[in-house]
């Protein structure tokens, strides 16, 4: 099993969610986060004062998937999140040792 974590632009979240649910993914966690990469932030004006925003708003999504669905999930995230501009995001893949569904006690892929 794998844990897929992706940091994407917030306005692409619905496209990624739809792509994942269309391929059969039944659960996903989304968290609003702030960060920077090659974008390095940008300048904004607030009440007439210009200041640099160094951390940009993003969304972090996390999806637990069986190994055999990994490539399809990665493709769905890439397709849904891609705008072609700097700051489209990153995908991180971790090995997932175990999953336990609290309600039933199921473990492993059955708990996903």
Q: What domains sit in the chain, N to C, each tagged with a CATH number?
A: 2-111 (3.30.70.120)
Question: What mean pLDDT is predicted for residues 86-106?
Answer: 95
What is the Cα–Cα distance from 60 to 97, expressed in whole angstroms?
21
Which string of b and e fits 2-35 if b means at least 16 CB within 10 Å?
A: bebbbbbbeebbebbbebbeeeebeebebeeeee
Give the predicted TM-score (pTM) of the model.
0.84
Question: What mean pLDDT is predicted for residues 1-28?
Answer: 95
pLDDT (0 to 100) of residue 30? 97
What is the Cα–Cα distance from 97 to 105, expressed in whole angstroms?
16
pLDDT (0 to 100) of residue 41? 62
In this prediction, residue 106 has a pLDDT band, given cuts at 50, 70 and 90, of very high
Note the pLDDT tens digit of each residue in 24-78. 998 999 999 988 777 666 666 667 777 676 778 899 999 999 999 999 999 999 9
């Amino acid at each position: 099993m794998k844990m897929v974590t992706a940091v994407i632009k917030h306005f692409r979240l619905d496209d990624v969610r739809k792509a994942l649910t269309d391929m059969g993914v039944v659960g996903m966690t989304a968290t609003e986060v702030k960060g920077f990469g090659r974008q390095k932030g940008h300048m904004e004006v607030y009440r007439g004062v210009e200041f640099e925003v160094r951390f940009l708003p993003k969304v972090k999504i996390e999806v637990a998937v069986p190994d055999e669905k990994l490539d399809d999930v990665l493709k769905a995230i890439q397709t849904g999140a891609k705008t072609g501009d700097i700051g489209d995001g990153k995908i991180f893949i971790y090995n997932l040792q175990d999953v336990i569904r609290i309600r039933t006690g199921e473990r492993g892929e059955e708990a996903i």
